[in-house]
Structure 1
Amino acid sequence: MTTASTPTTTGDLSGLPDMMAPELIADPYRGYGRLREQAPVLRASFMGVTATWMVTRYEDVHAVLGDPRFVNNPASVPGMQVANPVEKLMKSYGLSEEDARYMAENILSSDAADHTRLRKLVSRAFTVRRVSELRPRVEAITAGLLDDIAAGPEPVDLTGRLCYPLPITVICELVGIPEVDRPDWRSWGRDLVSTDPARMGPALHEMVANVKALIETRRSAPTDDLVSALIRAHDEDGDELSDEELVTFVVTLVMAGHETTAHLIGNSVAALLAHPDQVALLRERPELWPTAVHELVRWCGTALLTGLRYATEDIQLGSVLIKAGDSVSPVLVAANFDPRQYTEPDRLDVTRQPTGRGEGHVGFGHGAHYCLGAALARQEAEVALHALFDRFPGLALAVPESELTWEPVPGSRRLARLPVVRG
């Protein structure tokens, strides 16, 4: 392997592994696993837009995510004029230049002081204490959804009846999206991750318009929700939050707060139904559910990789020199199945205890950009899964496992439908 890098480029990307490759979308576990065993750091194509360094092994992924020398926004690289490939990608999908800004410039792509400032504005809504206070409401929403499932016909598509309704209801209540608008947000969210230009552009445009209208409503009639709190931060101290940041914040929080959690729940149900021994163990030892959720995040989490990170200086990563301005793509799914980190990583084990630091996986990321809503996502998954398998002991797939359809969304693992029978 070479010990010198080439600058991130949009030149000839042929011959490089690509996140859009059909084999990586169809089977990311084996696909990224093969790349991990090929090399810990290797050149790759980021969705056909730019060249990047793909980082595949746990130790290196963990190191990159925790290293402040790797930043999320290319504009944070000193002395570099690096185009933002996310913004370019969004434009290639038909988003207008104005709307694309709301996807490319947000808390997820901010760094250093800006990131700290933005994260501080909402962090109180996602503390362990605040999330614990939300648990009764999460349990009530779940119980209502399961009541509807019990009373309805079979088979049941859990994606539409449980996996999406729970997290979108919770995050919309927390943020302040009116109930009447929530079906639209669910539809817009699915369109935005579809990679279909005919759907993405209009969806984001409608999201932005909806948030702008909501801000005007809350400005004249504030309530006890996060939108009203952000408006106060904007209006009382204009330097804290710009107009564009205010809109972007709401779009980002609602999208990030329901899409990945919905598919974590769906992926987890499918995984557990394929491992009845693990379900039996959880019924015998329900205290294992929090541990089980961590294992499910590792084993079948929604996010397969993070956004690009950019080196602010020359950084040696193993045998590869990452030059200032070069991008790297930490591959979470490869790291979470790294046999150097886990014993029998391919085995789903709800009793698995963390190894090494922190949670023992990188399903929610690591470092300064660790998922702000991780505690809420874990709680929603735990409540939903525990209640579902308790309520319907005979729950089973309504189709063979091989017939489950996975959405062709690069970087994510998402079931299109999850048909089940209650048993």
Structure 2
Amino acid sequence: MDRTTDPAPPRTCPVTAFGRLREQGPVVAMPGTAMGATSLVTRHDDVHALLLDPRFRNDPATVPGAGDVVGSVMTTLGLPPELAHLGRGLLVRDGADHARLRRLVSRAFTVRRVAGLRPRVEELTADLLDDVAAAGADGSPVDLVAAVFHELPIAVICELVGVPVEQRGLWRELAGLLAAPDPARMPAVAHAVVAQVHELVAARRADPRDDLVDALVAVHDDGDRLTTDELDVLLFDMVVAGFETTAHVLSRATLALLTRPDQLAILRAEPWRWPTAVHEIVRTCGAVPVSTPRHASTDVVVGGTPIAAGEAVTAGLVTANFDPRHHDRPDELDVTREPGRGEGHLGFGQGVHYCLGAALARQEIEVALHALVERFPALRLAEPADGPSELGFERLVSFEVRVDAH
């Protein structure tokens, strides 16, 4: 079967546009991006299998003929050559190298540590919502993206890492540059954050505390420890993976719920549904439409399509999550939907590269959305919508609501 190329579709709902690709074929060509030219695997079962297949490697350096994907992304972000190790995170490692690093990090990033952070997440959320209440008390619109959805994830990351409050401005700036790259500003900010990480590591070695840096400094396996560069990479990855993605889901989900009052009413009447509803929210409002490219280490057949050794393919997470072959009524947000086996979506990936921070992300989404809709019974869009919002992954730069009861 030949993979086909779809002409550029007219501007439409991004989920619809990706859905056209899925219905066009199980593997379709994608134009070149910062990650290079790839083929997109579109259908749920094929995407799921791809994410589990060890014949596809995330590290292009281990596959002859693969391009320099990491270098391209570093250039796009504006990260300088002397910080090239920041591009060598868990997502671009494979095999024993990946397993070693993941094993060490998992000992620090435990369920107990994430669960123990929940009261602080609740407290941080309540403080931010106090500010929203004050700003919107007179009926003025409040931008939830700026007031809450960008502030909460970076505050949680800094709490987890142990960054003092007075030093968090740099982390906010770094997070902003990762969302909207500015190569002119990135080098200075990235250098400053790495220097701050080194200071934190030195401080924890001298005076241990119960935070993630302390745990990462302490972890070892038969004498094996994380190197300084590896600590830099892991903490940098937390900002990359934990800020924009969570902020995005929070904003898209709030918009989706406010334009689907029947779904919001169910969650207000039956708040015990929130943990399960978060899976449906990630399925329909996930921030990452496609995976990083994976390179075939040998000739492979995917969805009846031959992939030659060295070729790059990308897993269509959004096309899989809306695939009618796997999901009933996939284009509907249904907070009562039971996930079935697993999570019911591929928003956090699958297999050995499954998102390490998934539990923390789910916790933040649940806590923040539950608190928001409970705190403000009159919560509504600043400008009424014509109908249900589009689902999907497109970033909301701002999102204004009114919270007063008038």
Question: Does the pair score TM above 0.5?
Answer: yes
Q: Partners of 2:58 and 2:393 in 1: how far apart?
A: 19
Q: Partners of 1:17 and 1:84 in 2: how far apart?
A: 26
Q: In 2 relative to 1, CA 131–96 (structure 1 residues): closer, same or farther, beyond 3 Å?
A: closer
Which aligned pairs between 1:3-152 and structure 2 lie closer than 5 A?
27-47=13-33, 50-77=36-63, 80=64, 82-102=66-86, 104-152=87-135
Q: Which runs of 5 or more structure 2 residues have no equivalent in the other structure? A: none
Structure 1 residues 99-134: Cα deviation after superposition (integer angstroms, max 9, x where no partner):
2431x2111211122222212222244433433232
Shift of 1:81: 5.2
Matched, 1:364 2:348: yes
| Preserved CA contact (<8 Å) 2:5 2:30 | yes
Tell me which residue corresponds to 1:6: none
Structure 1 residues 282-319: Cα deviation after superposition (integer angstroms, max 9, x where no partner):
11211111121111100111111111111122111122
Q: Partners of 1:231 and 1:275 in 2: how far apart?
A: 46
Letter of the aligned partner of 1:398 in structure 2? A
Q: In 2 relative to 1, CA 412–267 (structure 1 residues): closer, same or farther, beyond 3 Å?
A: closer
| Preserved CA contact (<8 Å) 1:93 1:201 | no
SS of 1:339 mapped into structure 2: coil
Moved more, 104-113 or 275-284: 104-113
| Preserved CA contact (<8 Å) 2:77 2:178 | no
Letter of the aligned partner of 2:122 in structure 1? E
Structure 1 residues 225-263: Cα deviation after superposition (integer angstroms, max 9, x where no partner):
2212323348994x5322221211111123322221121
Match of 1:224 among 199, 210, 213: 210
Q: Partners of 1:258 and 1:48 in 2: how far apart?
A: 21
Matched, 1:396 2:377: no
Q: In 2 relative to 1, CA 23–200 (structure 1 residues): closer, same or farther, beyond 3 Å?
A: farther
TM-score by length of 2: 0.90
SS of 1:197 mapped into structure 2: coil
Shift of 1:327: 1.1
Match of 1:316 among 301, 304, 309: 301
Matched, 1:374 2:358: yes
Tell me which residue corresponds to 1:178: 164
Q: Partners of 2:9 and 2:213 in 1: how far apart?
A: 40
Aligned length: 398
Shift of 1:17: 6.5
Structure 1 residues 350-394: Cα deviation after superposition (integer angstroms, max 9, x where no partner):
011124x31111011111111111111111111111111111011
Tell me which residue corresponds to 2:311: 326
TM-score by length of 1: 0.86
| Preserved CA contact (<8 Å) 2:283 2:346 | yes
Tell me which residue corresponds to 1:10: none
| Preserved CA contact (<8 Å) 1:192 1:203 | no
| Preserved CA contact (<8 Å) 1:71 1:309 | yes
Q: Partners of 2:216 and 2:110 in 1: how far apart?
A: 17
| Preserved CA contact (<8 Å) 2:34 2:76 | no
Q: Partners of 1:128 and 1:243 in 2: how far apart?
A: 25
Tell me which residue corresponds to 2:403: 422
| Preserved CA contact (<8 Å) 1:192 1:199 | no
Q: In 2 relative to 1, CA 195–32 (structure 1 residues): closer, same or farther, beyond 3 Å?
A: farther
Q: Could you say what the CA RMSD is over the residues aligned between the two structures, in angstroms?
A: 2.7
Structure 1 residues 158-190: Cα deviation after superposition (integer angstroms, max 9, x where no partner):
112221222222221111222112232112111
SS of 1:206 mapped into structure 2: helix
Letter of the aligned partner of 1:292 in structure 2? A
Structure 1 residues 136-158: Cα deviation after superposition (integer angstroms, max 9, x where no partner):
22222212222222122431111
Letter of the aligned partner of 2:250 in structure 1? I
